[in-house]
Structure 1
Amino acid sequence: MGTQSCGTILSELPVAFNISQNRTLEELKNYLDNQSILTLPDIIIIEADTKGECFNFIEQIKKNALWRELIIVLISTSHNKEWKARALQLKVHDFYILPFPIEHLIERLAFLVKFKLIKPTLSILENADVVYKLPLGKRLFDILVSTLGIILVSPILIITSILIRLDTKGPVLYKSKRVGTGYNIFDFYKFRSMRIDAERQLENLSELNLYKADADEENSGKKSVFVKLIDDPRITRIGNFIRRTSIDELPQLFNVIKGDMSLVGNRPLPLYEAEMLTSNEWSLRFMGPAGVTGLWQIKSRGKRDISERERKKFDNFYALKYSFWFDLEILIKTLPVILHKEKF
């Protein structure tokens, strides 16, 4: 494992990590230049320098065919929003801010290596043959209810499509890649409720993230996994209405028909969220069905400040305990949640 200069941290890591320490970025580059595909380190830990040269070095790593799959962990001695944003842009695997418990880093490094061996990159998964089969009863229930639902709400689907087209330029449906059960990646459908440049604006709106405070309180140097913006300025006039009424979620019934999702399950995550898994605890949520609604939605009713840890517990509990009757209970309790949906 190569580093720029994290001597104290490295001295606390287990001997089994087989550490190789480099004091400068130039030394690290020379070290990597002399490695073969069989001797490259699994992980590189880099201490962020005041001039930000580490980011230029990371860019070089990403451009090198031999190095681009290396796991990169960045450590900073101070809070710097620009550095965190740059690290996210470069897809750095983790960004820690000193001080933090060394146990967190050890757990994270072990998980990253294990995750890399099993699922090297999420982009590769798009072409992977990863199949998850729902229990037959759950699948038949999904098809029956979704088909009936589409028939019943077809007038709403048509009217909403027309209103979105008249309100702003752009497609009626918003389609994005989501990570569902077993790390399967699929096209996720919603009615478009935001301006067409919404994705590009997300990075500049991190201060509005509902989960940001929770990540800061833990003082672990980790980015917030989930993203939910308060008073999101990217939402259109029609978008505000269809979000409050959950009409924007109706196209997901077609995802259910296709078999990408179930009516009840854990919400599928956008790629940028799924790529920031911080421990093997998070991976358990992907072992349950992906769903239109779920335990987290009904448990968070009326709570504006539900934490990441609480959401993880709900997702993991459902992945272990889901059943037909449990699904039916969640579906029944979802209706009042929709009727009293919070305005974020």
Structure 2
Amino acid sequence: MQFENIHSPNYSAENSVLSVFYYAENYQHNIEDDFPAELYSLKKFDSIKSLQEASQNLSIDELNTNILIEVNQETQHEVFQLVDSLKSNWLTRNIIVIFLLTEKDPAIVKKALKQGVSDCYVPPIFFNDVKQRLRFLSFYKQLRSEITDLSQIPTTIYKTPWGKRFLDIFLSSIALLIISPLLLLVAILIKLDSKGPVFYTSKRVGTGYKIFDFYKFRSMRQGADKEVEKLSKNNQYKGESAFFKVQNDPRVTKLGSFLRNTSIDELPQLVNVLKGDMSLVGNRPLPLYEAEKLTTNEWSMRFLGPAGLTGLWQISKRGKKEISERERKKLDNFYASNYSLWLDLKIILKTIPALLQKEKV
């Protein structure tokens, strides 16, 4: 694989010094010992109240400060007051806050995530993971702040091998030419079926965490994105999963169900392939809320291979209710490490019979 590192002149995901405010008693030594001074500027507070006062008086130049805070049953009320004060102020509402719980308490975790806390860790806490998560959230915050100027986003750029790129351009151009009457017909039917635009465009994270506009035929009613939290209890991937998929999704329109089961809704992504946002074969680009959960070294490897329209997951597991989150991640990682032109051709040939999925997911 060929990669090239580029960085914004104002930000480096790997080498920048992160400012961290923290309050901790039990975890004080872990933070002091595991966060090297060359990468983290630590400021300790002796009370939650003093931390709250400092966070309320941050200057505009200090808004990239991150907060680590130890939480237990006795301090949770005061901690949530701090979170409320941050979230109610438009200047500080995007500050990254991570909870370090001293004991497992699902109620605190649930409330924290609902109120916009970036992440919660429960014992046993591996502080190396906390560091990686903090750096990725900081990196992602920068990505989002520069979302209108993607050319300046610091990232790792995957250089598509010329053979793969030629195949992408050749096949996607022919396909778009052949199916253009079908695309026009589908567009008309969508307008007749339900209110809303013909195409659904969302921000997706592809190779090297590159963010781009991802195209699909609209298969859901308007405002479907806002219903994700409400439907999370029905997620096919159990627990605190990085992926979100609902069987018999109530947001899908009547026509949308047909478009999804035949994968016709995916056809506009051939334009993404032609533009070079993604390849015909690769790991599926993820929505922002999914990608930001895949931050450990093990699972972020999926972003080090090409993003694609179809891939190993589509031909081997797509639509199967029993697929686990770990299986899907392992398939993505395998492709990122082992992709080749011959593997791509095999996947393309096996994609056609896999298009007609059995499960409504």
Alignment TM-score, normalising by the size of structure 2: 0.79
Q: Does 1:273 align with 2:299?
A: no
224-233 vs 64-73, which deviates more? 64-73
Structure-2 separation of matches of 1:48 and 1:235? 41
1:110 Cα shift?
1.8
Q: Does 1:338 align with 2:355?
A: yes
1:182 Cα shift?
1.4
Q: What amino acid sits opposite 1:189 in the alignment? A: Y
Among 16, 40, 53, the residue aligned to 2:34:
16
Q: Does 1:157 align with 2:183?
A: yes
Q: Aligned runs of 1:184-203 on 2, under 5 Å?
A: 184-203=210-229
Structure-1 separation of matches of 2:353 and 2:115? 39
Alignment size in residue pairs: 327
Q: Aligned runs of 1:74-93 on 2, under 5 Å?
A: 75=101, 77-80=104-107, 84=110, 87=113, 90=116, 92-93=117-118
* Residue in structure 1 matched with residue 50 of structure 2 by the alignment: 27
Among 82, 92, 95, the residue aligned to 1:57:
82
27-36 vs 293-302, which deviates more? 27-36
1:69 Cα shift?
4.0
Listed as ranges, the gaps of 5+ residues in structure 2 are 1-19, 36-41
Distance 1:72 1:140, change over 3 A: same
1:89 Cα shift?
6.0
* Residue in structure 1 matched with residue 204 of structure 2 by the alignment: 178
Distance 1:201 1:224, change over 3 A: same
Q: Does 1:303 align with 2:328?
A: no
Structure-2 separation of matches of 1:86 and 1:101? 19
Secondary structure of 1:201's counterpart equals helix
Report if the CA contact (8 A) 1:122-1:275 is conserved. Answer: no
* Residue in structure 1 matched with residue 299 of structure 2 by the alignment: 282
Q: Does 1:326 align with 2:343?
A: yes
1:84 Cα shift?
3.0
Structure-1 separation of matches of 2:353 and 2:323? 18
Deviations 1:197-248 (A, max 9, x none): 111111111111111x2x3xxxxxxx32111112111010000111111111
1:269 Cα shift?
0.8
Q: Aligned runs of 1:91-240 on 2, under 5 Å?
A: 92-96=117-121, 98=122, 100-103=123-126, 106-115=127-136, 120-126=141-147, 127-129=149-151, 131-211=157-237, 213=238, 215=239, 223-240=240-257
Report if the CA contact (8 A) 1:142-1:262 is conserved. Answer: yes
Structure-2 separation of matches of 1:199 and 1:302? 21
Distance 1:171 1:328, change over 3 A: same
Alignment TM-score, normalising by the size of structure 1: 0.82
1:53 Cα shift?
5.9
Structure-1 separation of matches of 2:221 and 2:319? 27
Give the % identical residues. Answer: 47
1:79 Cα shift?
2.3
Deviations 1:57-88 (A, max 9, x none): 2243353647844443364743239x637625
* Residue in structure 2 matched with residue 220 of structure 1 by the alignment: none
Secondary structure of 2:299's counterpart equals helix
Secondary structure of 2:342's counterpart equals helix
Q: What amino acid sits opposite 1:168 in the alignment? A: S
Structure-1 separation of matches of 2:125 and 2:100? 14
Deviations 1:75-134 (A, max 9, x none): 4743239x63762562x32134x4x4323xx23212024435655533135224355431
Q: What amino acid sits opposite 1:225 in the alignment? A: A
Q: Does 1:260 align with 2:277?
A: yes
* Residue in structure 1 matched with residue 17 of structure 2 by the alignment: none
Q: Alignment RMSD, CA only?
A: 3.1
Structure-2 separation of matches of 1:7 and 1:186? 42
Structure-1 separation of matches of 2:29 and 2:287? 36
Report if the CA contact (8 A) 1:266-1:289 is conserved. Answer: yes
* Residue in structure 2 matched with residue 47 of structure 1 by the alignment: 71
Report if the CA contact (8 A) 2:168-2:279 is conserved. Answer: yes
Structure-1 separation of matches of 2:160 and 2:114? 34
Structure-2 separation of matches of 1:256 and 1:235? 25
